[in-house]
Structure 1
Amino acid sequence: MFVSVRMQRWGLNTYLYGPKDDLKHRLLWREVYSPEEEGHLRTLIVEAQSRGLRFVYALSPGQDIVFSSSCDLTLLKRKLRQVSDLGCQAFAILFDDIDHSMCQADSEAFSSFAHAQVTVANEIYRFLGEPPVFLFCPTEYCGSLCSPSVSKSPYLQTVGEDLLPNITVIWTGSKVISRKLSVDCLAEVESVLQRPPLIWDNLHANDYDSRRLFLGPFKGREPQLRNSLRGLLLNPNCEFEANYIPLHTLGSWYRAGKEEKKGEGSGGKDEYCPDRALSAALHDWMDELNQPLQPGGGPRQKTQGRGSCGGKGLLSESQVRLLVGLYYLPHEHGPSAQRLLQDLTWLKTNCHLVDEWRGRASRFMSLCEEIAELHCSVVGGANRAVLYDLYPYVWDLRNTALVAKAFICWLGEGECLHLQSVLEGVPRVWGIMGECSFTKFGTSSGNF
C-alpha cells in the first residue's frame, strides 16, 4: 500500500509486477495461483487501480518453454487468463536473460529464436483480447547484447518486422545499466523495432550485488526523452525504504518532461535538475525518516532500550546526505564518497608533508566519526522500517570507516590513536559495496 500511495503522490502511473521471489512468475510459470495467492494478487490489483495506477502482470516463461508445444501454449494462456480474471488489464511477457538455443522441435517449427518468441507473443496478445498495454521484453534488450550490433541484429529485425505493432518492446539502453539515455541514442533502436521502445531503467537496481545500494537521484536521462518513448519503468533497489529518493526524483523528472513538452520549462526553474530534485526529495523524506514506523507501514511497538548506540536522537538531513553520497549511483560516487577517496589517496602518498598531512588527516578522521554517528542514529532511530532495510549498509559503512581511520593512524605512526584500540570490536571482514578491504587501503588507491 505504501508504494501505491507514494506513486500516486509523485505522479507515477504504472506498477509492473514481476518479482523473482514469486516462483510462479518464472521458475514455476506453468502453475496457476492457489486461492490464497489469488487473494493477494487481487488485493494488489485493486489497490493499484483505486489509486489510478496501471497494474502490469509480467510472466517469464523463457527458461524452459517449448515454443512449438501446444501444451505449453495452453498452460501459458491458462495462467494469464487466471490473472486477467482477477481484474488485471495489462500484461508483459519477458524473454530476458535466457539462452538463445532452441530445442529440436522448435528448430524444426521456427526459422529463428526471435521468430519463435514473436509467434507466441502475438498469439497470447490476441488471446487476451489485444489489451491496450502488452509488453514484450526481447532477449537482446540492450545495445551491448545485440549481435553484431543494434542496426544489424537479425534478432531485432525479426522482432521489428513480425511483432504486432501495438505490442510495446522493452529496452534498457546501450547497456544493461545505462549511465546515460538520450533521444539520439534511442533513434537507432526505434528504427529497427519500427516503434518507440519502453525503457526498463536499471539505474537503481541492486539485485546483482547485495553489497551495493543506490540512493542517488534519477540522473543522466534527458527530460525530452519521454516524447520518444512509449514509457519508462524504473527497476528499483530490492529494499523498499531505499527507493524514496529514486522514485521521488523520477516523479520530478517526469513532470519536468511534461512541462518541457508544453513549452513551459524552457530555460526556467521547472527544468529538471538532479541536485534540486535530490534536495526536494530529501526535504520530504525527512518528514518520514524519524516517524515511529514498523516495516509494512505499521506503528512502532514499544520496546525496551535502544541498543548499544543508546539512541542519539533524530536523523539529521546532513546525515542522510552523507548516506546518500556514500551509496549514490552505479557509475558515480556522491560528494561524501568522492571527498573520502580524494583525501585517502592524498594521505597515502603525501606523508612527507607533515603539517598539511595532519590537517587533512584530521578532516578525514572527522568524516569517519560522522559515519559512525550515522550508524548510531539509524540504529537508535524510531523508524524501524528504515533500520531493517538499511542496517546492513550502514553497518558496512561503519566498519569500513573504522578500518580507514585505523589505517590513517598507522600512516601517522600512531599520533592520533593506537591501531589496536581502533580495531577493537571490528569484525574480521570489512568493506562496502564489495570493493574495499583493509589490505586494499595499504596497496592501492581503494574504492568506497
Structure 2
Amino acid sequence: MRHNRIFGALFSSIVAAASVAASAASAQPATLPALFPAPTSITLGDGAITLGSSVVLVAAPGADAETLALVRKILASAGVKTITTARRLPALLDRPHILVGTGDAAIVRDALARSGTTVDGNAEGYTIASLAQGSGGLITLAGHDGDGLFHAAQTFRQLVQRSAIPALVIQDHPAMPIRGTIEGFYGAPWTMADRTKHLDFLATVKANTYVYSPKDDPYARDRWREAYPAATLAELGTLAATARRNHVDFVYAISPGPSVCFSDPADTQALERKFEALRGIGIHSFYVALDDIEYAKWNCEGDKAAFGPSGAEAAGVAQAKLLNAVQANLLARDPASRPLIMVPTEYYDAKETPYKAALRKHLDPRVVVQWTGTDVVPPAISIPDAKAATKAFGRKTLLWDNYPVNDYAQTTGRLLMAPYARREAGLSSELTGILSNPMNQEAPSRVAVTGVAAFGWNDKGYDAQRTWHAAARDLAGGDARATAALLTFFDTQHIAPTFGSQPWQEQAPRLKAVLDGVREALADGDAAPRRAAIAELSGWADDLTNAPDIIRSGTVDPGFAEQSRPWLDAMQKWGRALQLTAAGLDAADRGSAAARGYFAEAKRIAAEAAAIESIKGATRFSGPIKIADGVLDVFIADAPGLIAFDRPAGG
C-alpha cells in the first residue's frame, strides 16, 4: 500500500515508539514506552532487560492462578521458551526474574524496595518495577489487590512487545471506580460469542464493568417477570464466569418500567426472585433500567391509590420506593454486594425538575444513578455539567455515554470510529465512572471503547489521538501496514452525529485536508504544485482502494472485517472512483481528451458505491453506507470542473 505523507510520518513515529532496534539492550538508551491507558506515573531508570529465551517466574504467596497463567502466556508470546519457577529471589540475578504478587506478600515488598518504591495503595492499583542487573534483571508485578495485579499483567503485555524492557517504575491506579460498557442499544443484540470476545477485550484496556442490558432480550424487558429458560440461564452463567476471569464485573440489567406496578409487593418480589436466580449462576451485580418509559400514566390502579395522580414527582417517589426495597434485599442477601445501579426516566440534562427532586429526596444514597450528559448524545461534557448532575441527583453520577452507539436515525449507514473526545479532563472528580454504549457491531466498537476506558482510567493523562492509534494497532495485531489501513478506514467513519443537525466530530478530517490541498493547488494555477497535488491525490486514492483488502488479509481481527463488510466494500469502490478522478485530473492537466472518460467512469463507480446498503437487521436503521460523505462524494462530483479539459493538447 502506498502511504501518503501524513500516515508515513505517523507510522515512522509509532514504530519508533513501540520497538527498539534488534541490537543488544545494553547499547540502547532507555526510552519511555507507549502504554494505554496512560499510567498515573512512570519513571525511567538505567539500563534495560532483554527477556531472551529463558526466564524465572516467581509466584508470591496468594498470587492469583489465572493471572499467573496470563503472565505465562504473555512470556510465551514474547518468545520465551523456558519458564523456570522458583519460590524466592536469588541475590545474584543471572537471568530475567519475573515476580508476581500482591503487596501483602513480604517477597513483593522486598523486591520493590530494590527499586526504591512501594506498591500503589489504591483500589485496583499496581506497581511495576524493572531493575537491570548484568545479564539478568528483576521485573516485579505488584498489585494492591487481585484486580490491580491483573492490571499489572495487562501493562506487562504491552511492555514485552518491545525487544527490551527499560528499567522503570510504574505507579498506576484508575481515576474512576467504574469503567466499561453497557450493551444497551436497540436493534440486533450481540451474540454470546460477541460478548465473550468483548469481555476478553475489556480486560486488555483495564475496564472493569460490563452491563448486560440488550433491549431485545424479552426476559429482561417485556417478559421480565418470567424465569429464563435453562439454556439461556446457562449461557449467562458462562458469560459471568468469563467476566470473572477477566476481572470484569458482570452486571445484569432488568427493564420493568413498561409494565411494573410500583406499589404491588408481588412485582418487587418478582424482581428479587429474578435476581436470586441469576445469583445462583454467579451474577452478583444488578441494575434496574427505567429509561424510555412514560410517567404520564400509571401501569396499575394501585399506584394511583398509593402515590396519587401520575406525573413526574409521583413517578420519582414510586421508583425510589421500588429501588430502595431492591437495594435493601441485595444487602440482606449479601452484605458485601455492590450497590444497585439505576438509569432514571429523566436520564439526560441536569435541569432541576420535580422528578429529579423526588429521586434526590427519597432514593437510597447507596443506589448509583446513571446520566447521559447534557443531552441523549451530548457533543461535549464539562466538569460544570457533571457538577450540575451531582447537585440534581444528590450524588455523583455514573456517565452513560452514548458513543459510539449507532441505533438512532442520524447514524444510518455509519460506523462511528472517531476518537473519544470532548470530555473534559478532571471529570473523574465528579463522576463515579463511565460506561460506553457501543454499536451493534462489537469489534468496530472497540475503537471508541478503547478511548472511553483509557479516559476512565486516567482522564488527566488521556490523549485522544494517540489512544486512537493504539486501538488501530491492537486491532491490527501490531502490523504497521494493517494499522495504516485501519486508520485510513477510520477517517472515512470519523463523523459523530448528535440528535440535532450538527455532528460533534467532523467527517474525514485527514482526507478533507488532502482534498482541500488539491483544490488550493489547482486554484493557484502554478504547474509544479498542481502536478504534485494530483500525484498526492493519486496516492491517497490508492490507500483508500487497497485498505479493505489489507484489513481482510488476516492480521486484523476477523470479526472486525466481517462486521464492517459493506463499509469495506463501499470504501473500495469509492477508492476506485477517486483513482479515476485523479487520472482524470492528470489527463485534464495534460490537455488530454481522455479526461472525459475517466470522470464519467468515476461518476458511475461512485454511484455504485453510494448504493451499497448496510447489513439488513444488523442495526436498528438500515440504509446506504456512508463513506467520508460530504467530503469524498463532493470532491468527485466537483473534480470535472476544476481543470478545463476540452482544450487542444498543449493549449
Identify the TM-score tier after normalising by the shorter chain. 0.7 to 0.9
1:172 aligns with 2:354: no
Structure 2 match to 1:298: none
Q: Distance in 2 between matches of 1:287 and 1:239?
A: 19
Partner of 1:109: 306
Q: Decide whether aligned partners of structure 1 residues 212 and 391 sit closer, same or farther in structure 2, where only a CA change above 3 A counts.
A: same
Match of 1:433 in 2: 626
The 2-side partners of 1:3 and 1:362 are apart by 41
**Aligned-partner Cα distance in 2 for 1:343–1:380:** 27
Cα separation, 1, equivalents of 2:207 and 2:597: 51
SS at match of 1:16: strand
Is 2:355 the partner of 1:142?
Answer: no
2:475: which partner in 1? 285
Do the aligned partners of 2:469 and 2:487 also contact (CA within 8 Å) in 1? no
Residue number in structure 1 paired with 2:329: 127
Give, in whole Å, the separation in 1 of the partners of 2:454 and 2:251.
22
Match of 1:325 among 479, 485, 491: 491
The superposition leaves residues 17-74 of structure 1 with CA deviations (integer Å, 9 ceiling, x where unpaired) of 1123322222322221111111111111122123322111111122232333444333
Determine which structure has the larger strand proportion and give its number.
Answer: 2
Pair 1:230 & 2:432 matched: yes
- CA drift of 1:397 comes to 2.4
Indicate which of 204, 211, 216 corresponds to 2:404: 204
Query: Match of 1:3, as an amino acid?
Result: H
Contact 2:342 2:369 in 1 (8 A): yes
Secondary structure in 1 aligned to 2:608?
Answer: coil
Cross-structure match for 2:511:
340
Given the superposition, is the C-alpha separation of residues 139 and 328 from structure 1 closer, same or farther in structure 2, using an over 3 Å criterion?
Answer: same
Residues 245-394 of structure 1 aligned to structure 2 (within 5 Å): 245-257=447-459, 271-287=461-477, 315-328=481-494, 330=496, 331-333=504-506, 337-341=508-512, 360-381=533-554, 383-394=557-568
Counterpart in the other structure of 1:195: 395
Q: Residue deviations 1:61-91, cap 9 Å, x none?
A: 2223233344433333322222122222111
Q: Secondary structure at 2:253's aligned position in 1?
A: strand
| Mapped contact 2:610–2:626 kept (Cα < 8 A) | no
Change (3 A) 1:410 1:160: farther
| CA separation of 1:390 and 1:183: change in aligned 2, threshold 3 A | same
Equivalent of residue 160 in structure 1, options 360, 370, 379: 360
Pairwise CA distance, 1:440: 6.5
Question: Compared with structure 1, are the counterparts of its residues 405 and 62 closer, same or farther at alpha carbon in structure 2 (3 Å cutoff)?
Answer: farther
Q: Is the 8 A contact 1:315 1:381 kept in 2?
A: no
Q: Which has the larger radius of gyration?
A: 2
Q: Provide the rounded CA distance (Å) in 2 between the counterparts of 1:161 and 1:226.
A: 24
Q: Is the 8 A contact 1:179 1:203 kept in 2?
A: no
Deviations along 1:221-246, whole A, 9 cap, x unmatched? 23422232222112222222213333
Q: Retained in 1: the 8 A contact 2:578–2:636?
A: no
CA 1:414 to 1:91, structure 2 compared with 1: closer, same or farther past 3 Å?
farther
Contact 2:268 2:325 in 1 (8 A): no
Change (3 A) 1:434 1:114: farther
Please identify, of 188-197 and 247-256, the stretch whose mean Cα deviation from structure 2 is larger.
Answer: 247-256
Q: 1:31 to 1:210 in 2, by over 3 A?
A: farther
Contact 1:350 1:357 in 2 (8 A): yes
Amino acid across the alignment from 2:569: W
Unaligned stretches of 5+ in structure 2? 1-195, 309-313, 497-503, 613-623, 640-651
What amino acid maps onto 1:47 in structure 2?
T
- What residue number does 1:23 align with? 218
Contact 1:327 1:333 survives alignment (8 Å): no
2:345 alignment partner, SS class: coil
Paired AA for residue 127 in structure 1? N
Q: Partner of 1:415: helix, strand, or coil?
A: helix
When residues 285 and 351 of structure 1 are mapped into structure 2, their CA distance, relative to the original with a 3 A threshold, is closer
Within 2, Cα distance between the matches of 1:395 and 1:59?
A: 38
Distance 1:364 1:8, change over 3 A: same
RMSD over equivalenced CA pairs, Å: 3.4
Q: Is the 8 A contact 2:492 2:627 kept in 1?
A: no
Is the Cα contact below 8 Å between 1:397 and 1:432 reproduced in 2? no
Task: Decide whether the 8 Å contact of 2:417 with 2:445 is kept in 1.
Answer: yes
Match of 1:395 in 2: 569
Determine the C-alpha separation between the residues in 1 that align with 2:315 and 2:594: 64
Counterparts in 2 of 1:321 and 1:416: CA distance versus 1, 3 Å:
farther
**C-alpha separation in 2, matches of 1:154 and 1:388:** 47
For 1:167, the aligned partner's letter is: V
C-alpha distance 102-239 of structure 1, shift in aligned 2 (>3 A): same
How much has 1:408 moved relative to structure 2?
Answer: 7.5
Asked if the contact 1:340/1:364 (under 8 Å) is kept, the reply is: no
The 3 A distance-change label for structure 1 pair 362 and 66 is farther
Q: How many residues align?
A: 401
**Unaligned 5+ runs, structure 1:** 144-149, 261-270, 291-313
Instruction: Quickly say closer, same or farther: Cα 1:127–1:444, change in 2 above 3 A.
Output: farther
Cα distance in 1 for residues equivalent to 2:494 and 2:420: 10
Matches within 5 A, 1:3-18: 3-18=198-213
Distance 1:439 1:108, change over 3 A: farther
Task: Map 1:34-45 to 2 at 5 A.
Answer: 34-45=229-240
Aligned partner letter, 2:290: F
- 2:594 and 2:276 mapped to 1: Cα distance? 70
Amino acid at match of 2:458: A
Tell me the TM-score normalised to structure 1 length.
0.78
| Paired residue type of 1:123 | A
Aligned partner of residue 184 in structure 1, secondary structure: helix
Query: C-alpha distance in 2, partners of 1:110/1:219?
Result: 43
